[in-house]
Structure 1
Amino acid sequence: MELEASRSRQAGGPVVTTLLWLIFIASAATNSIGGFTGLDTMFRMTAGGIAVACLLILIVRFVARRKD
């Protein structure tokens, strides 16, 4: 049982967290700067949706780690 718990903590550890942060920052920047640069609204809304999804996943991962 201990091996299973340590494996679940390692699954998607800091690498996934870092990737989620990078995707979040890039999509949030695209969403916010897109209005000034004239990007299509659909493209900006998609980038905003990706940013929100990454943020929710990061919050869920943080809360799950705190419970361990």
Structure 2
Amino acid sequence: METSRSRQAGGPAVTTLLGLFFVAGAATNSIGGFTGLDPMFRMTSGAIAVACLLILIVRFVLRRKDERRC
């Protein structure tokens, strides 16, 4: 009856939000060079995109490990 930690830490909604933040950060970082955005803003949005990508990868790996245990 115990629910796994990865399922308690969020579900499809969290994954969707992380994906949206990743796309928004990556788009801002890449398009910012053409539109003349401040480099610090672009680097911050790129860092957010990288952080979201890493979290998504960790969540995927943990979810795969949980599925293999069952």
**TM-score w.r.t. structure 1 length?**
0.89
Are 2:63 and 1:65 equivalent residues in the alignment? yes
Q: Percent identity between the aligned chains?
A: 80
**1:23-67 Cα shifts (integer Å, max 9, x gaps):** 000010000000000000000000000000000000000000000
User: Who is 2:27 aligned against?
Assistant: 29
What is the one-letter code of the residue matched to 2:2? L
The AA in structure 2 aligned to 1:44 is R
The alignment covers a number of residue pairs equal to 66
Q: 1:8 to 1:33 in 2, by over 3 A?
A: closer
Please list every run of 5 or more consecutive structure 2 residues that lacks an aligned counterpart in the other structure: none
User: SS at 2:20's partner residue?
Assistant: helix
RMSD between superposed Cα atoms in Å: 1.3
Q: Runs of at least 4 residues of structure 1 off by over 4 A?
A: none
In the superposition, the TM-score normalised over structure 2's length comes to: 0.87
Partner of 1:44: 42
Match of 1:54 in 2: 52
Point out where structure 1 has 5 or more consecutive residues left out of the alignment: none
